[in-house]
Amino acid sequence: MLEGLNQAMDHIEARLDGVIDIRELARIAVTSEYHFRRLFSALAGMPLSEYIRRRRLTVAGAEVLAGERTLLDIAVRYGYGSGESFARAFRAVHGVGPGEARQTGAALQSQPRMSFRLVVEGSSSMQYKVVEKDAFKVVGKKARVPLVHEGANPAIAEFIRGIGPDTVRRIAGLSDQDPEGIVSVSDDLDPSRAEGTELDYYHAVVTSAADVPQDLDVLRVPAGTWAVFENSGPFPQALQHLWRDVFTQWFPSNPYESRPGPEILRVRPDESGEAEAALWIPVVRADAPKRG
């Protein structure tokens, strides 16, 4: 897995001044495009698209300072359709426009080339199980909210506060299978997983109920394989770190990869600020035939 990722990084470097096909990167890494994007984001701490943008503007910055090409030539070389769009992107990364940088020899920011290596820590083991699950429904209340990687999500907290207690009781009464009770469900996330991008959030239950009240939102989930991870710790930090550890530790060490589908989190907090959690991630065997 890590060898394939590093070969994909080599491919990016060779094509910073050309077209970078994400499907080709996934093929080199011997995984699906969906899983490649998610795994890269977890390992690198930034979306793949942001890394490519920063690398291009790092190399472009060196060419700006070298003064051998016109600024428009450099803009076109690195995929910008106009000098204005290049100048905006350049300033966003370097804090100064390309013309000013060339005139003054300003100090620029640099995004180092990434490579991945295995670090053996062995400090703890992860509890997990793999479950084959029939088709089910997620039933509850839905809101479109921004993605927050660290700390509480104010939009989700406000949304949950706005759900009346009677509605919560009616939703909870529909639960008839694992994971039991009220759960948090995230779906339709932006492939980049960038901070601030939006997702569908459900305060809901997992159910096979045929009759669903019309005032509730329904997400139909097909049958498939799920990896279930359990942990406990401070809320919400331990839960956010659980998601990170799944992608940085478990996936690189096991013959599974993520597949499209909702992520389901069951949380049982206590009065001390601790919580027990179970995280359900849709997965597929890494050696299963790829689609698309």
Q: What is the pLDDT of residue 7?
A: 95
Q: How far apart are the first and last CA of the chain?
A: 20
CATH fold of 127-285: Multidrug-efflux Transporter 1 Regulator Bmrr; Chain A (3.20.80)
Among residues 23, 21, 45, the alpha carbon closest in space to that of 34 is found at 23
What per-residue confidence (pLDDT) applies to 292? 45
Note whether 2-104 and 127-285 share their fold.
Answer: no
pLDDT of 249 > 90? The answer is no
User: Taking the domains of the chain in order of start, what are their residue ranges?
Assistant: 2-104, 127-285
- Tell me: the pLDDT tens digits for 112-169? 898 887 554 544 456 789 999 999 999 999 999 998 877 778 999 999 999 999 999 9
The reported pLDDT for the residue numbered 123 is: 45
User: What pTM did the predictor assign?
Assistant: 0.74
CATH class of the 2-104 domain in this structure:
mainly alpha
Q: Is the pLDDT of residue 209 over 50?
A: yes
Per cent of the chain over pLDDT 90 is 60
- Binning pLDDT at 50, 70 and 90, where does residue 186 land? very high
Distance CA 187, CA 204 (A): 12
